């Protein structure tokens, strides 16, 4: 199956947007003291002289973050962090380039035979998918194997992981018995928290009175001694309003994890970085990588799982959030965690290979298979 995701003209526009409008998505903070309240714009970088800015660069991780200084209040009075909106400007001509089903995510039918015959033992594997074709340019690498395939709806990994089936809530609970599962990341990781709390009757989500999108969340199964937590990643997280003191970085959070063989740490950070120059993402991943290495040094038995990006349904809104951006970020993610003792959940290939449509939040059958991969790392026997 061949899909045109973007013609090259679109990629030119996407590249330009990313470089020329890095503040295409902006954020807002409310500052308050007594009865005085002011809202200003925030971002990874802002164009203004130092004295016009509040510098909220994280002292611990070095992650940059700035807001315009309020007129009457001081920087310490920042209360909230929230998404602001979109600034990205496309010309009318450019907009025409991004039409779903016209020149974006269009299926390209075969001009001749549309079926292939699979021989029992192909001579030299010549399989190719969006990821391996685009990431590698030599003839040699086009021959790389895919990460796996679905057989009767069940994901079979080709990286040596034996993916087991955890079809019942009892099977999942048995695997997680006595374990702590910490989930960190964006909404695609929150989906896993929701999947677990919805499918395990014994796992009760506490009402921590935290915002629905952001969390943090906590769920406990006292009978099986299972603890599951979710916390979203730090700015530029593009969620609804949250207290500024909850906008925390995964690297700092990881440093407070005790770890060990009963701890599983799951990390998924990608979608909210699309609109920024790639350096912002690289810096974030490097700081997470350092924290993962510290954790694995301190508590070597800890299972660390990284979720990759996945392709989405593209609309014109997605000019801010195109698969093309995700693909670049996905390459960087895989490269940065090479050689670190982490397990990948290859969300990219697990979404591409499935017959269900591409979606930022893949549908349940795909999520179930992803959870099976995680549990297979936790409970290989």
Ligand X SMILES: *[C@@H]1O[C@H](CO)[C@@H](O)[C@H](O)[C@H]1NC(C)=O
Could you list the residues that contact ligand X (CB under 6 A)?
Answer: 50, 55, 57, 59, 113, 115, 138-139, 152-154, 165, 167
| Length of the chain (residues) | 381
Cα separation, 303 vs 309, whole angstroms: 20
Q: How far is the CB of 170 from ligand X (least distance, A)?
A: 12
CB burial readout 286-299, b (16+ within 10 A) else e? ebbbebbbebbeeb
Would you say the C-alpha torsion 349, 352, 353, 357 has a positive or negative sign? positive
Q: Which residue has the tokens 């033992």?
A: 121
> Based on CB atoms, which residue is closest to ligand X, 57 or 100?
57
Pairing, β 148-151 against β 226-232: unpaired
**Long-range contacts, 164-171 (Cβ 8 Å, 24+):** 164/372, 164/375, 164/376, 164/379, 164/380, 165/372, 166/371, 166/372, 166/375, 169/199, 169/200, 169/201, 169/202
The partner residues of 37 in beta bridges, in order of sequence, read: 32
> Based on CB atoms, which residue is closest to ligand X, 30 or 44?
44
> Based on CB atoms, which residue is closest to ligand X, 55 or 100?
55
> Based on CB atoms, which residue is closest to ligand X, 87 or 167?
167
Q: How far is the CB of 10 from ligand X (least distance, A)?
A: 25
Q: How far is the CB of 330 from ligand X (least distance, A)?
A: 22
Q: How far is the CB of 9 from ligand X (least distance, A)?
A: 24
> Based on CB atoms, which residue is closest to ligand X, 87 or 165?
165
Q: How far is the CB of 85 from ligand X (least distance, A)?
A: 24
Q: How far is the CB of 122 from ligand X (least distance, A)?
A: 16
> Based on CB atoms, which residue is closest to ligand X, 91 or 123?
123
Cβ-in-10-Å burial (0-12, 13-18, 19+) of 177 comes to: middle
Q: How far is the CB of 124 from ligand X (least distance, A)?
A: 13
Q: Which residues contact 155 (CB under 8 A, 6 or more apart)?
A: 148, 149, 163, 350, 353, 369, 372, 373
> Based on CB atoms, which residue is closest to ligand X, 64 or 260?
64
Q: Which residues contact 231 (CB under 8 A, 6 or more apart)?
A: 182, 183, 184, 215, 216, 217, 248, 250, 253
């Amino acid at each position: 199956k061949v899909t045109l995701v973007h013609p090259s003209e679109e990629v030119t526009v996407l590249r330009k947007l990313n470089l020329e409008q890095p503040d295409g998505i902006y954020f807002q903070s409310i500052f308050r003291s007594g009865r005085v309240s002011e809202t200003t714009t925030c971002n990874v970088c802002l164009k203004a002289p130092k004295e016009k800015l509040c510098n909220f660069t994280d002292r611990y991780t070095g992650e940059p973050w700035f807001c315009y200084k309020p007129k009457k209040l001081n920087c310490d009075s920042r209360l909230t962090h929230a998404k602001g909106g979109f600034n990205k400007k496309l010309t009318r001509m450019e907009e025409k380039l991004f039409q779903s089903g016209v020149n974006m995510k269009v299926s390209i039918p075969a001009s001749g035979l549309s079926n292939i015959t699979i021989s029992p033992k192909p001579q030299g594997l010549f399989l190719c998918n969006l990821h391996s074709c685009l990431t590698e340019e030599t003839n040699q690498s086009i021959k790389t194997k895919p990460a796996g395939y679905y057989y009767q709806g069940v994901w079979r990994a080709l990286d040596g992981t034996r993916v087991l089936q955890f079809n019942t809530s009892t099977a999942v609970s048995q695997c997680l018995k006595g374990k702590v599962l910490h989930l960190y990341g964006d909404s695609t990781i929150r989906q896993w928290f929701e999947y677990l709390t919805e499918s395990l009757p014994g796992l009760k989500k506490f009402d921590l009175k935290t915002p629905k999108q952001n969390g943090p969340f906590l769920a406990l199964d006292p009978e099986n001694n299972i603890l599951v937590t979710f916390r979203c990643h730090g700015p530029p997280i593009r969620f609804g309003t949250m207290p500024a003191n909850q906008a925390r970085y995964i690297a700092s959070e990881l440093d407070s994890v005790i770890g060990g063989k009963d701890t599983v740490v799951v990390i998924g950070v990608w979608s909210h970085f699309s609109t920024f120059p790639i350096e912002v993402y690289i810096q974030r991943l490097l700081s997470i990588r350092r924290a993962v290495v510290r954790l694995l040094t301190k508590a070597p038995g800890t299972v660390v799982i990284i979720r990759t990006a996945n392709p989405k349904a593209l609309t014109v809104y997605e000019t801010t959030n195109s698969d093309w951006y995700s693909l670049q970020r996905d390459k960087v993610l895989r490269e940065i965690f090479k050689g670190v003792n982490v397990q990948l959940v290859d969300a990219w290939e697990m979404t591409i290979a499935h017959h269900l449509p591409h979606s930022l939040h893949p549908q349940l059958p795909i999520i179930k298979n992803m959870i099976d991969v995680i549990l297979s790392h936790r409970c290989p026997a």
